[in-house]
């Protein structure tokens, strides 16, 4: 057996224990993990510093360094996220439907774990803990395969969590890390049928496309975030400027950051200078259409067709002036990635039409796209943002990590 097959077999054995462990034991394990992460944060931060030093030496851009970096404050958030997951209702065992058939059979549906989940992700070490916590609470074992940039951080996180699991009476192999970060290990994980029940990619467009196109294991597709903010003709322009500033600059490297600003032609001359004044505070590069350039001048980089479909993950914003509400909708439904879209408007009819007609996992009225996040939605954390239209769409919390089985009670019925 290969190392990955050995990990897969161990995870299957661990998952059978975890699936019936019960809520109290899972919560105790999560509390043990939270406490262990808190007590060992010095060790984890030191390992993260090594990852950061290597990334800076390799020339990683600043926005990606931000994804990689941990701090005492971020560690506090990670620990709190684990505790929030422990406090959430346990979906496992919930009976969602129950009915009695004419022959007396009582038929219901009960939530059960998916089984063993594989997660392939890039340079975001917080994903290691978020994913492990959500999988544990939902009764799933998890095999994590992070990027090489965060290898030391991920290894430290997993070592601490495995020790905590054992101390709480659950198998260490409920959480495992693929320590080979080569392309070959990713390819092997994609083909680990018989061991993995589902594979979830979390990262950039290239990673997600590679997994979707090559995996033999069933995939839940998380999405690229080409997110738009549309400023309507009847928008509060000061509010709109604050929203696009937050959506673009609060953390540009994440998938819920805005990548494109659409502005109705009726308000473009008034709004664009307001927005630029705020965006200039973070030195945001504007790539605009000719009408944007006519209003703002030579500071605007002429947009290429590819700019309308690009997830920059950086202080770059595509800007387009549109002639109508319908024009904005057509543009979003053509170029959006189905992640998060926002309208800023005081027109109730326009707001409702936007909610009805925009095809995305999360659609906002008068709010930043940056709220598309498991923590903000009250899920405690998330495994990723799903942009597909299967059972999981949007931030994937505990319920999205479950399947169901039919349970049937009889008293001797035969057919």
Q: Which domains does the chain carry?
A: 3-222+396-409 (3.40.605.10), 227-371 (3.40.309.10)
Q: What is the mean pLDDT of residues 351-359?
A: 96
Neighbours of 193 (CB within 10 A): 12
- pLDDT per residue as tens digits for the range 122-142: 878 999 999 999 999 999 999
pLDDT of residue 248: 97
CA 156 – CA 44 distance, rounded (Å): 6
Q: What is the DSSP string of 247-284?
A: HHHSSTTSTTSEEEEEEEHHHHHHHHHHHHHHHGGGTP
Q: What angle do CA 205, 320, 269 make, to 5 degrees?
A: 150
pLDDT-derived band at 62 (thresholds 50, 70, 90) equals confident
Reply yes or no on whether the pLDDT at 261 is more than 80: yes
pLDDT at 288 over 80: yes
Averaged pLDDT for residues 195-222: 87
Sheet holding 106-113, edge to edge: 95-100, 106-113, 402-409
Confidence of residue 391 (pLDDT cuts 50, 70, 90): confident
Report the pLDDT value the prediction gives residue 134, as an integer from 0 to 100: 94
Higher-pLDDT residue of 240 and 66 is 240
Kindly state the percentage of the chain with pLDDT values over 70. 99
Residue scoring higher pLDDT (221 or 371):
371
pLDDT at residue number 316? 97
Q: What is the separation of C-alpha 292 from the centre of its chain, rounded to a whole number of angstroms?
A: 32
| Helix, strand, coil fractions of the chain, as percent rounded to 5 | 45, 20, 35
Query: What's the rounded mean pLDDT across residues 345-350?
Result: 97
295-323 as b/e, with b when 16 or more CB fall inside 10 Å?
bbeeebeebeeebbbbbbbbbbbbbbbbe
* Greater model confidence, 392 or 346: 346
CA distance 82 to 32: 10
**Spatial contact of 337 and 225, defined as CB atoms under 8 Å apart:** yes
Range name among 107-116, 147-156, 381-390 with the lowest pLDDT average:
381-390
More confident position, 223 or 337: 337
Question: pLDDT class for 394, splitting at 50, 70, 90?
Answer: confident
Q: Which residue has the higher pLDDT, 226 or 64?
A: 226
The CA-CA-CA angle for residues 153, 156, 160, to 5°, reads 145
* Mean pLDDT across 51-67: 88
| pLDDT confidence of residue 46 | 97
Mean per-residue pLDDT over the chain, rounded: 93
Mean pLDDT of 287-303: 96
Q: State pLDDT tens for residues 361-390.
A: 999 999 999 999 877 887 766 777 887 777
pLDDT at 380: 64
pLDDT above 90 (res 213) = no
């Amino acid at each position: 057996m290969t190392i990955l097959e050995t990990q897969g077999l161990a995870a299957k054995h661990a998952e059978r224990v975890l699936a019936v462990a019960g809520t109290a034991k899972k919560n105790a394990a999560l509390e043990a993990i939270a406490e262990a992460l808190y007590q060992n944060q010095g060790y984890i931060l030191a390992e993260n510093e090594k990852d950061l030093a290597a990334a800076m030496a390799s020339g990683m851009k600043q926005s990606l360094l931000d994804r990689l970096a941990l701090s005492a404050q971020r560690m506090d958030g990670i620990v709190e996220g684990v505790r929030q997951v422990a406090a959430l209702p346990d979906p496992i065992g919930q009976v969602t439907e129950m009915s009695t058939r004419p022959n007396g059979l009582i038929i219901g549906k009960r939530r059960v774990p998916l089984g063993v989940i594989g997660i392939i992700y890039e340079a975001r070490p917080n994903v290691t803990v978020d994913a492990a916590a959500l999988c544990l609470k939902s009764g799933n074992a998890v095999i994590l395969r992070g990027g090489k940039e965060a290898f030391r951080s991920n290894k430290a996180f997993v070592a601490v969590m495995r020790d905590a699991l054992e101390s709480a009476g659950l198998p260490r192999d409920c959480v495992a890390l693929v320590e080979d970060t080569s392309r070959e290990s990713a390819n092997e994980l994609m083909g680990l049928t018989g061991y993995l029940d589902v594979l979830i990619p979390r990262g950039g467009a290239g990673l997600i496309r590679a997994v979707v196109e090559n995996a033999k294991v069933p995939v839940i597709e998380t999405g690229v975030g080409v997110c738009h903010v549309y400023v309507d003709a009847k928008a509060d322009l000061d509010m709109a400027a604050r929203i696009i500033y937050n959506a673009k600059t609060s953390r540009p490297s994440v998938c819920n950051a805005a990548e494109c600003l659409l502005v109705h032609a009726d308000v473009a001359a008034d709004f664009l200078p307001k927005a630029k004044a705020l965006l200039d505070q973070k030195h945001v590069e504007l790539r605009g259409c000719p009408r944007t350039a006519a209003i703002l001048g030579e500071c605007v980089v002429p947009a290429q067709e590819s700019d309308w479909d690009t997830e920059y993950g950086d202080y770059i914003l595509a800007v387009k002036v549109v002639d109508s509400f319908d024009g904005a909708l057509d543009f979003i439904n053509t170029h959006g990635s189905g992640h998060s879209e926002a309208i800023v408007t005081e027109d109730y009819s326009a707001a409702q039409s936007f909610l009805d007609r925009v095809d995305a996992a999360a659609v906002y009225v008068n709010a930043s796209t940056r709220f598309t996040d498991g923590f903000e939605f009250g899920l405690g954390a998330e495994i990723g943002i799903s942009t597909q239209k299967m059972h999981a769409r949007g931030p994937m919390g505990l319920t999205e990590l479950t399947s169901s089985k039919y349970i049937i009670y009889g008293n001797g019925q035969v057919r």
